[in-house]
Amino acid sequence: MNAVRPVETLHVAAGVTPAGALSGTGVASTAPVHANLVAPGLVAAAMRRGEGRLSADGAFIGVTGVHTGRSVQDKFVADDPEVTNEIWWGKVNQKLAPGKFAAFADRVRGYLGTQSELFTQDLYAGADPAHRIRVRLVTTNAWHALFARNMFIRPKAEELAGFEPDYVILHAPEMEANPETDGGRAGSTTLIALSFAKKTICIAGTSYAGEIKKSIFTVMNWLLPARGVLPMHCSANVGKAGDTALFFGLSGTGKTTLSSDPERALIGDDEHGWSENGVFNFEGGCYAKVIKLSREAEPQIWDASHRFGAVLENVIADERGHLDLEDNSLTENTRSCYPIEFIPNTVPSGMAGKPKNVVMLTADAFGVLPPISKLTPAQAMYHFMSGYTARVAGTEKGLGKEPQATFSTCFGAPFLPRHPENYGKMLANLIARDGAQVWLVNTGWTGGAYGTGQRMSIMHTRALLRAALDGSLANAEFVTESFFGLAIPKSVPGVPENVLNPRESWADKAAYDRTARDLQSRFEKNFETFASAVSDEVKAAAIRAAA
């Protein structure tokens, strides 16, 4: 656990190009390269260049234009012969011919070489030295460099001497891709291309900073399984007794919010590895969704977002810089990026022991799933492979009035370069090896579907999680619900009994039954992809869900 660090001091003077700043990138430039500036220097450069503005509290506010989220359809992977047989090709990993990647990378390098100044950051991904990689970012914008510096692990000053990257990110957000010559999606000027063989990532045509973060998460998802380490899209924290907990979940389900618990030390909020030694964070920062952020409900995230050094994406502020976190006029996906040290109760090493509890979060807008249920190992793999949540109108453009079921296998399909079965089997083996208890937690709706029911109380969710993580809930009396075969506790202090059983929270029981059967069919259809690759026990869990 640690106190907030003082503001960093500059490593190098602005305008000075250190030797080796572009080494290993292939970029040639005679312009100034601002290498490894820390927060004050990067903010000063961003303001000088007119890249954004400051909030009243000193946080930097950047606007990303038309791209306010990841450009999933514009992500491509080089079809290098060394790796082609191991990649999960399809909608997630679209093929880009090696020659096209090489030409595109050269074009990005040439573009970067013509800029009047560049910013580089040398950073780590992976808190465990045995499994970390060295990353060098080259970008045109100071605020993107600050984003990367916040999100990844910052080497000590002495570690920067002789730093040579394992992977390079060439970041040219203002450059337009040409699908005819670069091989990207027809009609799109955005292209995010990754080559595992060349260990290079090129990002063009989008200013959304999350592309930087998630490109390296994809790399970690590629590298670690071969080392016997499970990469995970989850947050993690640890209790005073040394009990580690993992929180899986898609965007909007509460990973960041629920893992930021004043009673537990935060390991990290989004990406981790599970090795034979325990859990370790991939990152050195947090990337929290802040639309409708409440100081009362989420004080740690609120405070971290209202201070110098934080980066706010697409957040609205008035003429004096006071934030309006209710304003979604640019996007519902407003974000705050800050170093993990901005959270007062963290694990400085980014590492902890083997998980005692694994929590799978879903925001079920159909109001069917219970607020918490205890899963068997077979059910755990079934729900991990399913990766379910539901989106509702207002969270994404183009959604209608009815909730839409979303299944993202392993709670992170867009970042999985290998077939999902690899990650699913690893999780099942680790749960068995380390004896972790798995819980399914619904942070979505109760008493009815979206539009009829109400959002689950965060106070109830926190009470349920406290009982799960302190071990008391495991010994409670459980009943089995009828549709998914989930074990529901009969009573939990601080939570009304009619909330615990979702059917009892609905006034119209017949409507609940119809909705539950509909959701079952959605699960069943989604799981058809994996049915031939899982054990009989997992198949039995799937059959029960579809019965």
Local structure of 481: helix, strand or coil: coil
What's the CA gap between 61 and 84, in Å, rounded?
Answer: 40
- The 3 state secondary structure assigned to 516-547 is HHHHHHHHHHHHCCCHHHCCHHHHHHHHHHHC
94-96 β-sheet, strand order: 33-35, 118-125, 133-139, 167-172, 200-204, 191-195, 75-78, 94-96
Cα–Cα distance list, 161 to 36, 122, 204, 259, 355 (Å): 11, 10, 29, 35, 36
Question: Which listed residue (128, 182, 261, 270) is catalytic?
Answer: 270
- The 3 state secondary structure assigned to 370-432 is CCEEEECHHHHHHHHHHCEEEECECCECCCCCCCEEEECHHHCHHHCCCCHHHHHHHHHHHHH
Sequence-distant (6+) residues with CB within 8 A of 18 are 12, 33, 35, 36
| 395, 403 Cβ separation under 8 angstroms | no
Sequence-distant (6+) residues with CB within 8 A of 529 are none
Greatest extent of the chain over all pairs of C-alpha atoms, in Å: 71
Cα–Cα distance list, 293 to 18, 176, 209 (Å): 41, 34, 20
- 214 is an active site residue: yes
| 210, 411 Cβ separation under 8 angstroms | no
- 335 is an active site residue: yes
What's the CA gap between 192 and 173, in Å, rounded?
Answer: 10
Query: 377-386 vs 420-434: helix axis angle to the nearest 10?
Result: 150
- 95 is an active site residue: no
Q: What are phi and psi of 388, to 5 degrees?
A: -90, 140
Q: In sequence order, what E strands does 37-157 have?
A: 53-54, 60-62, 75-78, 94-96, 118-125, 133-139
Question: Which listed residue (154, 213, 255, 460) is catalytic?
Answer: 255
Return the closest-CA partner of residue 115 out of 49, 206, 37: 49
Question: Which listed residue (34, 67, 70, 272) is catalytic?
Answer: 70
Question: Which listed residue (214, 264, 460, 466) is catalytic?
Answer: 214
| 236, 346 Cβ separation under 8 angstroms | no
Question: Which listed residue (251, 346, 373, 446) is catalytic?
Answer: 251
DSSP state of 191: E
- 233 is an active site residue: yes
Cα angle for residues 92, 394, 328 (degrees, 5° grid): 100
Q: What are phi and psi of 343, to 5 degrees?
A: -90, 125
Question: Which listed residue (100, 132, 171, 233) is catalytic?
Answer: 233
| 300, 286 Cβ separation under 8 angstroms | no
- 539 is an active site residue: no
* DSSP state letters, 282-312: S-SEEEEE-TT--TTT-HHHHHHHSSTT-EE
What's the CA gap between 481 and 178, in Å, rounded?
Answer: 53
Task: Give me the active site residues, please.
Answer: 70, 214, 233, 251, 255-256, 270, 335
